[in-house]
Structure 1
Amino acid sequence: MAVDLDAVGRTLSPIHLRSVVESTARLNIWQGSVRSGKTVASLLRLLLAIATAPSSGRVLLFGKTRESVNRNVFAVLTDPLLFGPLARLVKYNPGAATGMILGREVDVLGANDAKAEPKVRGMTLCLAYGDELTTIPEAFFTQVLARLSVPGAQLFGTTNPDAPSHWLRKKYLLRAGELNLRTWHSTLDDNPHLDPQYVRDLKTEYVGLWYKRFITGAWVQAEGAVFDMFDEDKHVIADLPAITRWLAVGIDYGTTNAFAAVLVGFGVDGRLYVAREWRHDSKTARRQMSPYEYSQAVRSWLSGIDLPGGDRGVSPEYVLVDPAAADFRVQLAKDGLPNKPGKNEVVEGIRTMSSLLARDRLRIHRSCSGLLAELPGYSWDDKAAERGRDEPVKADDHSIDATRYAIHTTRAIWWHHLRADNAA
């Protein structure tokens, strides 16, 4: 069954159409900004390779998790608007160890940490496809290359840029001239088929570090202040507007370190508000509190919050707790406060908060003194950056972590409700 090249051609930019033809090396990597077309181009090349692959050897698809492979690979391959009738020849049950592509069984692996590397040992591969290669542990990637031992074996992969010292860039992309490797770099503007309003919105949503990486496709290092867009004159308020939804309380649990809880609501003006904060620092108070005492304190704090209009007490839709605080979560539930672990995707959560601040969609009440003290000094870790990793310095971040849990975990709820235009 032939690929509908007309349909694909309407989706791909010229650089990616060319890449499909040129990707004959052992290693073929598409890099660049989000939504630049690299995934569709690389998957078209994968289909062509599977259709002509030797019967010996396995075909491996891998990513950070099987869930991400399902979302970024199989969901695209099964889109009939992109791949026409070929989409019906791709089958995968989410979470399964294998799938079917063009009648051939393929292995599906997640590589979310260094312990994933032994999963590849013993395989003999003729083809491999890697989704978002910068999220893959180096040991796993190295082992995949070692297993590509069938004559003519190839790897196809995609990635957004990361730190310039990342192992993928240093050991592979910068050595393309000496390795059997080809790479293509593209940006958002290389994809002429995107809706112009969507492109404008995307360029607005990404700021700072992430704008450079995900919009311009640059390999740049995280350095300096994390929230360099924070402006006390703009983002700190004395009076809250009417709150239409009390979305969440985020809690960063601490015994020897500070305990922080923040309340986040959605305002009538289309912004998110960090409305109130409760903290206990055992070092300053010279008294540690038990999970039971913290549970009592949080519930008392919520019931006693004074609101605009004279109301009192808040029942947030979600209580989102530090995932490491299992005992405290159990105690809260016993005391009648259902809760969930907050999403602890640190860099992704920082990106969400940064975008909101840059777009003036997040404001903070002046009573949240712990959060306001932490934001200006929250910085990227230079030593981690030298190792190719984006990590903030782990200090004075308890209210920031609590805010991140509340905002990033509820992103699917509030994101599409934010008004596109600035509120008055």
Structure 2
Amino acid sequence: MLSDLALPLSRKQVASIVESQGAPLALWSGAVSSGKTIASLIAFLIRLTVAPDSGLVVIVGRTLQTIERNLIDPLQSTALFGPIAAHVHHTPGSSTAVILGRTVHLVGASDARAEGRIRGATIALAYVDEATLVPHSFWMMLLSRLRVGDQSRLLATTNPDGPFHWLHRDFIQRGTEVGLTNWHFTIDDNPSMAPSVVALLKAQYTGLWYRRFILGEWCLASGAVYDSFDAKRHVVDLMPRMRRWTAVGIDYGTVNAFSAVLIGHGDDDHLYVASEYRHDSRTAGRQLTDAQYSTAVRDWLANVRPPGEAGQGVQPQWVFVDPSAASFMTQLWTDQVAGVTPAVNDVLDGIRSVSVALSSGLLRIHRSCAGVLGELPSYAWDERAAERGEDKPVKINDHSADALRYALHSTAHEWRPLTRRNLEVAA
């Protein structure tokens, strides 16, 4: 099977593939783009050919969509798997696939309720994508379902999390006791990555994210969340003409502050936090209704002066709103505000998106945005939560930071290519 592949493999990848065949629990952990997923998928395919018919084969991910994107799409790529790809069949949205002639069940496990999807099943072979994102209760249920004697196998991949995460604490550190074999990968272990791409990826991450996603360390989230923020580098007094007004991010608050942040894509291919509306009921002495906030936001946008243009008023393509603010979104729709949609509120992924935009030098913030500039330097990780195995920022003075996260992370697929171009120019 290895001879059919269309890509080179490192010695570490080959060793992990071979050694995993005899391991009850096999885990590939470490940096992003380090080759661990390819190695683990090859190991899975080999094991699939000998998996007992008396049990199910399952692939587990956070959602069906992430399974399709992270695993099924690569398996169907002839550029990666050569002629093997022709033997991977899946209809998008279906909860099963046929791989090498074997039916494979695709199981989304985004919360503890997912354990009901495998309860009572007998599983011969399981593959888990991004194991740290799977609920602990689901993982333990999955282990209890590996019931085909000593022939059952569980293979998994993950990027590192905090050192107190249950996967690190209860399994990696106790590998011999629990039958887990772990292979640690860094970004330099992938022979398919061009050195220039590796250098660009290393430049995109700083601090916590660099240690976890480049070095592959299980390290504690501590200190400043946005440790790459530098007022000299990121704060500007002048902005270029905007190619388009990408988005507004809104963090809704009644007792807490309400913040709206406007993002533009400049002619110089940088993103700009160009303007901000903020209402703090505690300092203002009065709370506003949904209708009053809607009027305030529309008036604010109507009075923004686009740089390099004679008139005033902007029309953002999207207005991303705190998903919990359902009534406010209804008010905006009633007032016929265009592009209103719930923001993508994956906190850690969103923080990482903002961090990449800052560390790459892509994001710049106009000096008038006092809320954003006041919160970013003091936005910190909750160290008590980290000691419990959770990565959480301290929920204090974070309203403009959240609004910025909504706008950037919800449009990350659009601006991510600009980070590479910006880093290449800087180099």
Q: Give the shorter-chain TM-score range.
A: over 0.9
Partner of 1:311: helix, strand, or coil? Answer: coil
Residue equivalent to 2:106: 108
Counterpart AA for 2:86: R
Partner of 1:109: helix, strand, or coil? Answer: strand
Task: Confirm whether residue 161 of structure 1 aligns to residue 160 of structure 2.
Answer: yes
Residue equivalent to 2:222: 223
Residue equivalent to 1:324: 324
Counterpart AA for 2:31: S
From the superposition, tell whether residues 423 and 168 of structure 1 become closer, same or farther in structure 2 (CA, over 3 Å). closer
Per-residue Cα deviation, 1:157-213 (whole angstroms, up to 9, x for no partner): 111111011100110111112222211111111112212221111111122111111
Q: Distance in 2 between matches of 1:68 and 1:219?
A: 23
Q: Which of 135, 158, 161 is matched with 2:133 structurally?
A: 135
Q: Distance in 2 between matches of 1:28 and 1:236?
A: 47
Task: Confirm whether residue 301 of structure 1 aligns to residue 291 of structure 2.
Answer: no
Q: Distance in 1 between matches of 2:230 and 2:201?
A: 22
Q: How far off its partner does 1:275 sit? A: 0.6
Residue equivalent to 1:241: 240
Counterpart AA for 2:322: D
The answer (yes or no) to whether the contact 2:4–2:83 under 8 Å persists in 1 is no
Aligned residues: 421
The answer (yes or no) to whether the contact 1:121–1:143 under 8 Å persists in 2 is yes
Counterpart AA for 1:327: S
Moved more, 386-395 or 163-172: 386-395
Q: Distance in 2 between matches of 1:81 and 1:355?
A: 28
Partner of 2:5: helix, strand, or coil? Answer: helix
Residue equivalent to 1:95: 93
TM-score, normalised to structure 1, is 0.96
TM-score, normalised to structure 2, is 0.95
Q: Distance in 2 between matches of 1:162 and 1:252?
A: 27
Task: Confirm whether residue 48 of structure 1 aligns to residue 49 of structure 2.
Answer: no
Partner of 1:139: helix, strand, or coil? Answer: helix
Q: Distance in 2 between matches of 1:81 and 1:354?
A: 31
Q: Distance in 2 between matches of 1:37 and 1:94?
A: 25
Task: Confirm whether residue 398 of structure 1 aligns to residue 422 of structure 2.
Answer: no
The answer (yes or no) to whether the contact 2:362–2:418 under 8 Å persists in 1 is no
Q: Distance in 2 between matches of 1:306 and 1:174?
A: 57
Counterpart AA for 1:73: L
Q: Distance in 1 between matches of 2:144 and 2:3?
A: 34
Q: How far off its partner does 1:65 sit? A: 0.9
Q: How far off its partner does 1:241 sit? A: 2.0
**Superposition map of 1:219-298 within 5 A:** 219-298=218-297
Per-residue Cα deviation, 1:103-138 (whole angstroms, up to 9, x for no partner): 111111111111212222111011110001011111
Q: Distance in 2 between matches of 1:281 and 1:422?
A: 40
The answer (yes or no) to whether the contact 2:206–2:227 under 8 Å persists in 1 is no
The answer (yes or no) to whether the contact 1:222–1:380 under 8 Å persists in 2 is yes
From the superposition, tell whether residues 129 and 423 of structure 1 become closer, same or farther in structure 2 (CA, over 3 Å). closer
Q: How far off its partner does 1:64 sit? A: 0.9
Moved more, 56-65 or 231-240: 231-240
Counterpart AA for 2:57: V
Counterpart AA for 1:34: V
Q: Distance in 2 between matches of 1:31 and 1:240?
A: 42
Counterpart AA for 2:58: L
Between the two proteins, what is the percent identity of the paired residues? Answer: 50
Q: How far off its partner does 1:422 sit? A: 5.0
Q: Distance in 2 between matches of 1:187 and 1:179?
A: 24
Q: Distance in 1 between matches of 2:207 and 2:406?
A: 21
Gaps of 5+ in 2: none
Q: Distance in 2 between matches of 1:229 and 1:53?
A: 48
Q: How far off its partner does 1:7 sit? A: 2.7
Q: How far off its partner does 1:308 sit? A: 2.3
Q: How far off its partner does 1:423 sit? A: 6.9
Q: Distance in 2 between matches of 1:200 and 1:341?
A: 35
Residue equivalent to 1:16: 13
Per-residue Cα deviation, 1:138-164 (whole angstroms, up to 9, x for no partner): 100000000001021010111111101
Q: How far off its partner does 1:55 sit? A: 1.1
Partner of 1:43: helix, strand, or coil? Answer: helix
Per-residue Cα deviation, 1:78-121 (whole angstroms, up to 9, x for no partner): 11222222212211223322221111111111111112122221
Counterpart AA for 2:335: D
Q: Distance in 1 between matches of 2:260 and 2:97?
A: 44
Residue equivalent to 1:313: 313
Counterpart AA for 2:265: F
Per-residue Cα deviation, 1:17-58 (whole angstroms, up to 9, x for no partner): 011111111101111111111111111111111111111011
Q: Distance in 2 between matches of 1:5 and 1:51?
A: 16
Q: What is the root-mean-square deviation in Å for CA atoms of aligned residues?
A: 1.5
Moved more, 85-94 or 163-172: 85-94
From the superposition, tell whether residues 185 and 423 of structure 1 become closer, same or farther in structure 2 (CA, over 3 Å). closer
Q: Distance in 2 between matches of 1:274 and 1:82?
A: 39
Partner of 1:165: helix, strand, or coil? Answer: coil
Counterpart AA for 2:230: D
Partner of 1:183: helix, strand, or coil? Answer: strand
The answer (yes or no) to whether the contact 1:129–1:155 under 8 Å persists in 2 is yes
Residue equivalent to 2:417: 416
Q: Distance in 2 between matches of 1:190 and 1:244?
A: 40
Q: Distance in 2 between matches of 1:182 and 1:4?
A: 21
The answer (yes or no) to whether the contact 1:269–1:423 under 8 Å persists in 2 is no
The answer (yes or no) to whether the contact 2:4–2:84 under 8 Å persists in 1 is no
Q: Distance in 2 between matches of 1:307 and 1:87?
A: 50
Q: How far off its partner does 1:4 sit? A: 4.8
Counterpart AA for 1:160: N
Counterpart AA for 1:355: V
Partner of 1:172: helix, strand, or coil? Answer: helix
Q: Distance in 2 between matches of 1:58 and 1:215?
A: 35
The answer (yes or no) to whether the contact 2:4–2:82 under 8 Å persists in 1 is no
